[in-house]
Amino acid sequence: MTTSRIMRQLSRSVFARGRNAYLGRAFSRYSTAAATEEPIQPPVEIQETQLFIDGKFVDAASGKTFPTLDPRTGDVIAHVAEGDAEDINRAVAAARKAFDEGPWPKMTAYERQRILLRFADLLEKHNDELAALETWDNGKPYEQSAKIEVPMLVRLFRYYAGWADKIHGLTIPADGPFHVQTLHEPIGVAGQIIPWNFPLLMYAWKVGPALACGNSIVMKTAEQTPLSALYASKLLHEAGLPPGVLNLVSGFGPTAGAALASHMEVDKIAFTGSTGTGKIITQLAAKSNLKTVTLELGGKSPFIVCEDADVDQAVELAHFALFFNQGQCCCAGSRTYVHESVYDEFIEKAKARAIKRSVGDPFKGGIEQGPQIDSDQFEKILKATILSPHVFSNVKDDMLIAKDEIFGPVQTILKFKDLDEVIQRANASRYGLAAGVFTHNLDTANTLMRALRAGTIWINCFDTFDAAIPFGGYKMSGQGREKGVYSLNNYLQVKAVVTSLKNPAWL
């Protein structure tokens, strides 16, 4: 959706109506209040900017680099190696050799577990450096990176380390004198493409289950945020991961990403990003070697505030559901449906909460919201580097801001009369990633949790992520599940083994 289309739609649907609409201040650099302040210097040194292939940091085959930028200012943080098809070929060759000939899939599961646990310990030790890199490259608040996301990164790898020695097949009774068993085997070389909004967490969601199952990996990081994954991968090899098992290529989608998705020696591809790019990934996978594909894509998640809700609590939760991570969250509660009996009260309190949200340099303590990721993203929203929260009332389902994934701090609030109506409207979307329900009525909660067509339903909470909770979408929000035991299925294949029995004592 272009900026001009958004602005035309907002002008027609909200500004012309002029009822209960709040448009916050736009920040031309990193905040109005801090416009004359110098950005805080991040407490970390940039160490790794090359590709990571076969256990070594190497330049791109072409020698090219590209700048990764500070979202606060647009200044260059570092120049990073720009991988392309030739580098993907090198990385896949290393991963193929590591899987076919190397020690990783032949290690005992316990040995793989110990390496992943050592890695988690190193991540925990380097919490502050990882958090600083994540904030510097992405723009999210440092307190969010250091206190929430890096600890979750550690938790995820300890969780998958725990699974490494618990993956096994079944013994199956059959009609006849046969011994039947299934083997759960690693799928081989896994291609993985991660987005820029949660670089470290998406790294863990992909790398953790793939390694626990014994696969090797070629990962393409987002060109906007390559730095934290490089640092983490260095730590993973310090923990004892053999060369070639994990390979990291920074680069762009049309070159490195397309080469990975279409590579004949890659056995599966996992992608997190936009629905449009997910379609391209699927086509490339099908046209090459018909590799299996898992996709975690876009969303336009409903957040339903029922008539029995405590309005103050609902306002705070709805605010968090939308504005967390600068609104750059695929499962953001970006369609806030509020029952007509509490709608007016909710609007006024949502407006007041949005005005209070602290916006500025993400390295400053107490800041809730930093800059959008880059100029491309903020120009898609409202042409401002850092946007204070925007709240729109009297929104209708056919408006662009109620249908398209804006991926920014823009809250749309819609009114509904009864459950049947809101179920129909909430489900009338091409997306189905998540939904939120705020009610104290158990019957209402049970009705909505079953009726809403989405992969995750949060009841009286939102964005509750745990290593064991599966995450993924219905409809055009993707296929397959990340996290939890279900994610292991993405990286395993099942082999049936049938052995004839001669004079068995029992069947």
Q: What amino acid positions are annotated as catalytic residues?
A: 296
Contact 293, 267 (CB under 8 A): no
Q: CA of 391: how far to CAs of 102, 134, 404, 452, in Å?
A: 55, 28, 16, 24
Tokens of 433: 């990633």
Tokens of 443: 């019957």
All residues at 6 or more sequence positions from 130 whose CB lies less than 8 Å from its CB, including other chains:
123, 145, 150, 153, 200, 228, 231, 232
DSSP label at 404? S
All residues at 6 or more sequence positions from 101 whose CB lies less than 8 Å from its CB, including other chains:
none
All residues at 6 or more sequence positions from 404 whose CB lies less than 8 Å from its CB, including other chains:
1, 300
All residues at 6 or more sequence positions from 250 whose CB lies less than 8 Å from its CB, including other chains:
51, 66, 80, 81, 82, 83, 220, 221, 223, 226, 230, 256
Tokens of 70: 């500070």
Cα–Cα distance for residue pair 282/295, rounded to 1 Å: 9
Cα–Cα distance for residue pair 193/71, rounded to 1 Å: 21
Edge to edge, the sheet with strand 302-305 lists 22-23, 390-392, 410-416, 335-339, 302-305, 434-438, 456-459
Cα–Cα distance for residue pair 69/377, rounded to 1 Å: 13
SS3 434: strand
Q: Please classify residue 252 by burial: count the beta carbons closer than 10 Å to its beta carbon, then call 0-12 exposed, 13-18 middle and 19+ buried.
A: middle
SS3 496: strand
Between CA 156 and CA 375, with CA 476 as vertex, the angle to 5 degrees is 75
Estimate to the nearest angstrom the gap between the alpha carbon of 213 and the chain centroid.
21
Contact 212, 161 (CB under 8 A): yes
Contact 292, 267 (CB under 8 A): yes
Looking at the DSSP bridge assignments, the partners of residue 339 are 416
Contact 80, 227 (CB under 8 A): yes
Cα–Cα distance for residue pair 269/187, rounded to 1 Å: 11
